[in-house]
């Protein structure tokens, strides 16, 4: 009797202990362990044997915990996607709504308060969002593609070392091409410092001075605006326009150093235009209302010159912290892309044109050259996109806590060239859309939509050809003709209604051919410029491609 009582008490204690463990684990104990009945009552089997062992219960608890963690992760991802979708829907809805007015019929926006957000219909709306590749790289399947490119880079390095060791009989680790391309780098940096300081001081001082003069000159505001506008245009043409070109041509900067100067020149010109274009209407509205001019602070303008956007705002969405490891990784990837491009040129392009010089120039050789240049062209396109639009811009955005990281969209999925032009480089597209396309439509009161699109394409083609002409040192409008001719035609033929996947294949095929033509023709002209000097220095000889008259292209 005493033994039975002791067994009963022991069973009660075991059940209470299991119940306490179940509560500590949040109720994750398996049901068999939580059964309040005695072993004999529960199982009716073999004596005191439990129906489920403690090891099985632990495995079930671990499985439930993993399922709970997976459930939380899925809910978190779903909530993030829903939040992004809601933000985009709010933005699109705001764009379609008219601006609100008060009872007197005047706008309810306080033009003197610069901290208030602009109405969505007046320009781009900045939202906190990550870059697309950062989101895609969180998936192992997509990150494997990134690993494949790294493996290809390693293969290029090994191939170059092995070939140099076989040809030279020793290990050659010279980077003559990089050393030449980035020659006279101190001169380029000095030119950039001068450009930046002038773009920092001159436009801001002119805007502040114009705001005061515009307020004081009640009857001659138009004349004051014309005078200050002429001064700003003169600075844009001579200071930011002719100055950097003179430095590049006078010092004969090599291609990479010249690209640094000219691309920064174009960037600063676009920044200055956006700063003036966004602030002048606000100042004029404030003057019409008899209020003090809402001139932005110097710190706002300084931040704008560095942040990765070409649309000026007084404030942008900001992140809470700076991830310096993320910054370092992005800059390291930029350096890796630079060496990647070097090995592509060494292994795929230079040998091609050395062999090309040993045969007579003919249409057959030209066609073979174009198709052989498609792979280097596509690889360089990927590297330029990844190095600049993803790594470089994200690194600066992280250092400046700039939260809107949509510098590009999924351009690789485009089924039309119209969508490709919009999603390839969102930073430049926004500037062209708001300051070229929309201003053109506003100037002509919403008419001539086709003419507005043509003006945007022409401006973009001229700027691209200008950069290449100055940096390479010769005029050969291949990109201009392809961009303004075939690019404009494909923009209307392959429009947004082309949604079938076959059009994505068509777009990539045309892009491969276009990149092959660009790399082949510009490379031929580069070697022709080096090997075939001019006999006459007339204007016609200067603008005529040298590869047309050169007997051999080395």
Show which residues are catalytic: 464
Calculated CA dihedral for residues 462, 466, 468, 471, nearest 10 degrees: -170
**Contact call for residues 337 and 383 (beta carbons, < 8 A):** yes
Q: Is 448 exposed, middle or buried (0-12, 13-18, 19+ CB in 10 A)?
A: middle
CA distance 207 to 203: 6
CA distance 297 to 524: 50
Q: Which two tokens stand for residue 225?
A: 């605006």
**Contact call for residues 467 and 350 (beta carbons, < 8 A):** no
CA distances from 296 to 229, 302, 537 (A): 18, 10, 50
CA distance 491 to 9: 85
On the CB side of 278, how many CA atoms lie within 13 Å of its CA?
27
Q: Is 420 exposed, middle or buried (0-12, 13-18, 19+ CB in 10 A)?
A: buried
Q: How many residues are present in the chain?
A: 554
**Contact call for residues 322 and 213 (beta carbons, < 8 A):** no
H-type helices in 109-184, by residue range?
132-136, 140-168, 176-181
Q: What is the DSSP letter of 392?
A: I
CA–centroid distance for 242 within its chain: 28
Nearest by Cα to 175 from 279, 256, 258, 264: 256
**Contact call for residues 486 and 514 (beta carbons, < 8 A):** yes
**Contact call for residues 172 and 165 (beta carbons, < 8 A):** yes
CA distance 266 to 251: 19
Residue 86 phi/psi, 5-degree rounding, is: -65, -40
Q: Which two tokens stand for residue 367?
A: 């066609």
């Amino acid at each position: 009797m005493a033994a039975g009582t002791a067994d009963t008490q022991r069973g009660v204690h075991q059940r209470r202990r299991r119940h306490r463990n179940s509560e500590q684990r949040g109720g994750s104990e398996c049901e068999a362990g939580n059964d309040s009945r005695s072993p004999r009552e529960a199982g009716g089997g073999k004596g005191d044997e439990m129906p489920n062992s403690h090891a099985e219960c632990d495995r079930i608890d671990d499985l439930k915990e993993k399922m709970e963690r997976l459930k939380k992760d899925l809910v978190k991802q779903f909530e993030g996607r829903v939040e992004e979708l809601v933000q985009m829907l709010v933005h699109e809805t705001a764009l379609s709504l008219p601006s609100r007015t008060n009872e007197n019929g005047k706008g309810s926006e306080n033009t003197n308060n610069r901290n208030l957000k602009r109405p969505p219909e007046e320009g781009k709306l900045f939202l906190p969002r990550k870059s697309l590749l950062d989101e895609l790289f969180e998936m192992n399947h997509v990150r494997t593609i990134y690993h494949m490119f790294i493996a290809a880079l390693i293969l290029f390095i090994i191939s170059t070392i092995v070939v140099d060791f076989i040809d030279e009989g020793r290990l050659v680790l010279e980077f003559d091409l990089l050393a030449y391309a980035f020659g006279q780098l101190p001169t380029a940096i000095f030119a950039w410092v001068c450009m930046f300081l002038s773009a920092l001081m001159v436009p801001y001082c002119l805007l502040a001075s114009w705001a005061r003069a515009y307020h004081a000159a009640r009857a001659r505001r138009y004349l004051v605006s014309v005078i200050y506008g002429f001064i700003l245009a003169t600075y844009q043409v001579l200071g930011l326009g002719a100055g950097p070109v003179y430095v590049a041509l006078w010092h004969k900067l090599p291609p990479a150093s010249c690209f640094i100067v000219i691309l920064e020149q174009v960037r600063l010109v676009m920044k200055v235009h956006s700063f003036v274009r966004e602030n002048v209407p606000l100042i004029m509205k404030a003057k019409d209302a008899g209020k003090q001019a809402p001139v932005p602070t110097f710190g706002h303008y300084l931040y704008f010159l560095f942040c990765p956007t070409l649309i000026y705002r007084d404030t942008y969405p900001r992140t809470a912290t700076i991830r310096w490891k993320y910054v370092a990784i992005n800059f390291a990837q930029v350096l890796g892309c630079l060496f990647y491009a070097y090995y592509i040129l060494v292994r795929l392009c230079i040998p091609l044109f050395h062999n090309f010089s040993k045969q007579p120039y003919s249409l057959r050789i030209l066609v073979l050259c174009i198709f052989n240049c498609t792979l280097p062209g596509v690889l360089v396109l990927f590297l330029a996109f990844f190095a600049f639009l993803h790594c470089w811009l994200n690194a600066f955005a992280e250092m400046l806590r700039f939260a809107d990281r949509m510098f590009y969209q999924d351009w690789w999925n485009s089924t039309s060239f119209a969508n490709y032009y919009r999603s390839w480089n969102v930073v430049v597209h926004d500037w062209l859309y708001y300051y070229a396309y929309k201003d053109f439509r506003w100037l002509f009161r919403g008419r001539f939509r086709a003419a507005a699109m043509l003006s945007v394409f022409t401006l973009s083609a001229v700027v691209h050809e200008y950069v290449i002409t100055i940096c390479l040192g010769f005029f050969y409008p291949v990109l201009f003709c392809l961009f303004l001719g075939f690019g404009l035609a494909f923009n209307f033929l392959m429009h947004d209604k082309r949604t079938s996947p076959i059009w994505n294949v068509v777009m990539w095929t045309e892009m491969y051919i276009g990149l092959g033509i660009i790399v082949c023709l510009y490379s031929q002209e580069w070697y022709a410029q080096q090997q075939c000097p001019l006999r006459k220095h007339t204007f016609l000889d200067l603008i005529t491609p040298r590869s047309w008259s050169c007997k051999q292209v080395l």
